[in-house]
Amino acid sequence: MRNFQVLVDDKIDDSSAKLSYLLQHCQGKTRRLIESYSRKRPDEGYREAWRLLEANYGRPYMIAHACVKKATEGSQVHRNDADGLRESALCLRDCWLPLSEIDECAEMDNTPTLVKVSKRFSPKLLER
C-alpha cells in the first residue's frame, strides 16, 4: 500500500486516475472488494476504496499475522535443496522488513514462531 501511495497517490491529483490505477493494480479478492467504488463519483469512490483496503489489509496485526504465516507454513527444505534454502531466506527477509517498519518484530522474534520456522528445515539440514 505504501508503494502505491508513493508512486501514484502522492503524484497524481485526479481521483478518477487514482481509482483506475488502484483497480489496475489489485486482483482477485482485493479487486472484487473495491470494484463497485468505480461507479461512484471519482473523489468519493477513491477515498472509500482506499479506506476499505486499509481496513482489510493495512492493519499492523493483520500484516504481522500474514508474515508469520508465510514464514512458518512453507514447504520443508531438504539438505541438498539450495533453491529451497535460498527461497526460504528470501521469504524470511520479505517478512522481516514489513514487520520492522510497523514495529511488530516481536511477532517473528519469539520462541514459538522460531520453532515453527525451524521445523520447515529437515533435520539433516539443521545438523550442519
Helix axes 15-24, 42-57, angle to 10 degrees: 40
Chain centroid to CA 37: how far?
A: 23
Strand partners, 77: 121
> How do the domains of the chain map onto residue ranges?
2-57, 60-127
Could you give the C-alpha distances from 85 to 9, 29, 68, 72, 96, in angstroms and in order?
37, 30, 17, 14, 16
Helices of type H across 73-128? 82-101, 111-118, 123-127
Output the pTM of the full model. Answer: 0.57
pLDDT 10s digit of each residue in the chain, 128 long? 666 776 677 888 888 988 898 888 888 998 999 999 889 998 999 999 989 888 888 778 878 888 899 999 988 899 889 999 999 999 999 888 888 888 888 888 999 999 999 999 888 877 75
